[in-house]
Structure 1
Amino acid sequence: MSKALIVGGGIGGLATAVAFTRRGWEVEVLERAERITEVGAGLSLWSNALRALDALGLGEQVRARAIEDGSAGIRDSKGRWLSRTDIETVRARYGSPIVVHRADLLEILRDAVPESALRTGVSVGEVRADGTVVHSAGVSTGDVIVGADGIRSVVRRAVCGEVTPRYSGYTAWRVVVTPAEPMGDLGETWGSGERFGYAALADGRVYCFAAVTAPADRPSAGLAELRDRFGDWHEPIPRLLAAADESAVLHNDIYHLPPLPTYVAGRIALVGDAAHAMTPNLGQGACQALEDAVVLAEVATRDPDLTRYDAERRPRTQMIATRSERIGTVAQLSWAPAVALRNAVMRLLPPSIQIKALAPVLDWTA
């Protein structure tokens, strides 16, 4: 029986383990954390990701714990619409995106992997071209080695050497809150070098996120800073922040990878953030990791030469990463004339153009 050795027990790693298991492979997942868990944050899964989950046999389980994404569009800080989402057309053209809690998705994926395959508390130190992985618990080998160990991947060094992640220019906060009353229109609000978004979760809570243009490694004042920055924006933003708990606020600078020259080297392949960590502006990070899992397992089962995986996945994921970065640049504009021009152009763009622009991203089939 062929064996896939997967480094990293996040969404990409577990999805890859499921994909290989379904094709009859033995799998071993090495995760450095003592427990495979996910912190509190929401996650958008577009139609392409749902097709990948269907290919993994998990689509219905995920949909059962999710809610249809009801994002209505983008507004300015006063609540005036910059662009409206034609939800019915999006649904008819691509299928309905959903919002799920990351922890729920991770639990579904973890439960689909044989318990005996999961090894936690194991740190990987070296990956060799012959399929050997040296780690804190000894040595493991596999017919395919999968680097699913995130943006600061150890496995990636064996594929393309040292690669330094790039700071996007903005920092972000995430928090899940329980509002006193149901939310109405959901979506994003763009200001000047600042953004705030909110999306409903299936259990009635609301996932909120904010982004602010700032130097890297700048200390955050947490919830107090969010209330200071966004407290005078349109409702329900002040209400959501008033309902937030300081202990639930997550803060991270946003980094992404430069385009890699390859995702494979011999028996080694990279998936998810280890291959193409991208900014979150298109909501495609986890979606692309799920696609990676399906394609890699298919390619590896057919042929030990993994170059077809690279040929299929690298152009697509790097195109999406570039698009996401460009959207972030426009969204984070802070020079007043540029912000005014951006807002004017967005109000003039017909929804049909925006929907058509999604096709290269969402028209993917397993």
Structure 2
Amino acid sequence: MSTPHPLKVLVAGGGIGGLTAALALTRAGHEVTVAERAPRYEPAGAGIVLAPNALHVLSALGVDLVPHSLALPSMDVTAADGTLLRRVEPQRFGAGYGHTRALSRTALHAALLAALPEAARPVNGRAVAAVQDRGDAVTVRFTTAHGTSEPQAPEAYDLVVGADGIHSTVRAQVTARPPALRHSGVTCWRGLTANPGVTSAVESWGPGTKAGLVPLPDGRLYYFYVRTAPRRAPAPAWPDGFRRVFAHHRGAPARVLDALDGPPPLHHDLEELTAPVWGRGRVLLLGDAAHAMTPNLGQGAAMAIEDAYALALALRPDAAGTGRGGDRVAGAAERYRALRHRRVRAVQLASRQAGAVTAWRGPLGRVVRETAIRRMPEALTARQYRGLVDPVLAMLRRPLV
């Protein structure tokens, strides 16, 4: 059989999912262009925790995050007063899984960019304005970062991958009835600061509030504070209003909040898509564009990273219905959805449920919640963890070419 011609692919969006998709697709031999709306990459004021399912995919794609991250041997869930409810030690759940690791989003972006070949690195200040699937190709019109239409004629690609986030332009154009955005009922503040001595990740659950601390390399700390609030609710006054909202949280979360010299730099209402949508024909979606979810399980970026590898698998020369000169894009949407939908939907719904539980405010609900966390069987936690990692290890046994 002759070697198939590489596909000409446009990835719309140069975030974590888009860069990983570009890396997977170039590894599979395709010609990839990444269009990123932002005029430049700037330091991100937030951190990220990646579980072994994401780290194994990145490692298979040649991205080693060990020099840029901190291993988290344990993750503690506490009551607001600091009482330990549960300590999760992932290393106990499976030999060879590896650590969960924490790093800044800036470091993660830099590592992904460094792993990409020069030809596939993002073109900044360029956004997708319109896509048209003609059946044999996709024509794309672009705008600049300021929304000005480019004077060039539309460009043609074999495949367009929408990795342009929760408010995806690509998704809006290829989905007849786009799924609605669902407000989770909470709002979140995040940032980075100097680490005052926190040695393990901790999440503190209060009455309708949550606080999280994650140590990072180089003496930094990633923090987040979450409260139940309607969409677009005004932020409490700094600093006294913040301290009142999170007054139930004792210990390190309180000390970190008191030590901040200004309000957290990032503030977002937490929203999600009501259900995943994967695209159709020659226009496919991944990451938040396909299945934005709440961050309660810390799996949003991990699912995008997994999507990237699965998408490249769906385009393999020996994929069903292709070969012998067949069109590898034909049927790719169905193959990609079959690889991803059931798993992603389960994680999305589990994250939604976890968020609902942590938002409980009444005393009785909090007692039930804390009792359930304390008494959760270790075997159940281990089974859930293995269910997160083992399917990825199985997927990675399939090479991209």
The TM tier, using the shorter chain, reads over 0.9
Q: CA deviation at 1:188?
A: 0.5
Q: Of 116, 127, 134, which residue of structure 1 is paired with 2:131? A: 127
Residue 140 of structure 1 and its aligned partner are, at CA, apart by 2.3
Pairs within 5 Å for 1:1-366: 1-58=6-63, 60=64, 62-90=65-93, 92=95, 94-117=97-120, 118-130=122-134, 131-136=138-143, 137=150, 138=152, 139-161=154-176, 162-180=178-196, 182-221=197-236, 223-224=238-239, 225-231=241-247, 233-246=249-262, 248-260=264-276, 262-302=277-317, 303-304=328-329, 305-306=331-332, 307-363=334-390, 364-365=392-393, 366=396
Secondary structure of the structure 1 residue equivalent to 2:267: strand
Instruction: Give the conservation status (yes or no) of the 8 Å contact 2:182–2:274.
Output: yes
CA distance in 2, matches of 1:222, 1:361: 40
Native 8 Å contact 1:271 1:289 kept in 2: yes
Instruction: Note the C-alpha offset of 1:10.
Output: 0.5
1:354 Cα deviation (Å)?
Answer: 1.8
Gaps of 5+ in 2: 1-5, 144-149, 318-327, 397-401
Deviation at 1:31, TM superposition (A): 1.1
Distance in 1, Cα, partners of 2:272 & 2:169: 16
Q: Tell me the SS of whatever aligns to 1:83.
A: strand
Q: Alpha-carbon deviations, 1:19-59, whole Å to 9, x = none?
A: 1111221111111110134521111111110111012111x
Per-residue deviation, 1:223: 4.9
Q: Which has the larger radius of gyration?
A: 2
- Is the CA contact (8 Å cut-off) linking 1:281 and 1:327 kept in structure 2? yes
**Structure 1 unmatched runs, 5+:** none
Q: What is the alpha-carbon distance in structure 2 between the residues aligned to residue 270 and residue 108 of structure 1?
A: 23
Distance 1:125 1:147, change over 3 A: same
Q: 1:9 to 1:86 in 2, by over 3 A?
A: closer
C-alpha separation in 1, matches of 2:225 and 2:119: 39
**Alignment deviations for residues 297-349 of structure 1 (CA, whole Å, 9 cap, x no partner):** 22223232212111111111111101111011111111221111111222222
Change (3 A) 1:21 1:280: same
Using the TM superposition, name which of 276-285 and 159-168 deviates more.
159-168
Task: Normalising by structure 2, report the TM-score.
Answer: 0.85
| TM-score, structure 1 normalization | 0.93
Answer yes or no: is the 8 Å Cα contact 1:70–1:199 preserved in 2.
no
- The CA RMSD over aligned residues, in Å, is 1.9
CA contact (8 A) 1:100 1:202 kept: yes
Q: Paired residues, what number?
A: 362
Which stretch shows the higher mean deviation, 186-195 or 77-86?
A: 77-86
Residues 250-290 of structure 1: per-residue CA shift (max 9 Å, x gap): 11000000113x41311111010000100001111111111
Q: Please identify which structure carries the higher helix content.
A: 1
Native 8 Å contact 1:84 1:351 kept in 2: no
After superposition, the Cα gap between the structure-2 partners of 1:23 and 1:222, relative to the gap in structure 1 and judged at 3 Å, is farther
CA, structure 1 residues 355+73, in 2 after alignment: closer, same or farther (shift >3 Å)?
A: farther
Task: Name which of structure 1's ranges 159-168 and 145-154 shifts more when overlaid on structure 2.
Answer: 159-168
Counterpart Cα distance in 2 of 1:268 and 1:341: 46
The DSSP-based 3-state class of the residue aligned with 1:323 is helix
Q: What is the CA–CA distance in structure 2 between the aligned matches of 1:97 and 1:16, rounded to whole Å? A: 22
What's the offset of the Cα at 1:226?
Answer: 3.1
Aligned sequence identity (%): 36
**Amino acid across the alignment from 1:198:** L
The 1:100/1:189 distance shift into structure 2, 3 A limit, reads same
Secondary structure of the 2:258 match is helix
- Call closer, same or farther: CA 1:80–1:288 in 2, change over 3 Å: same
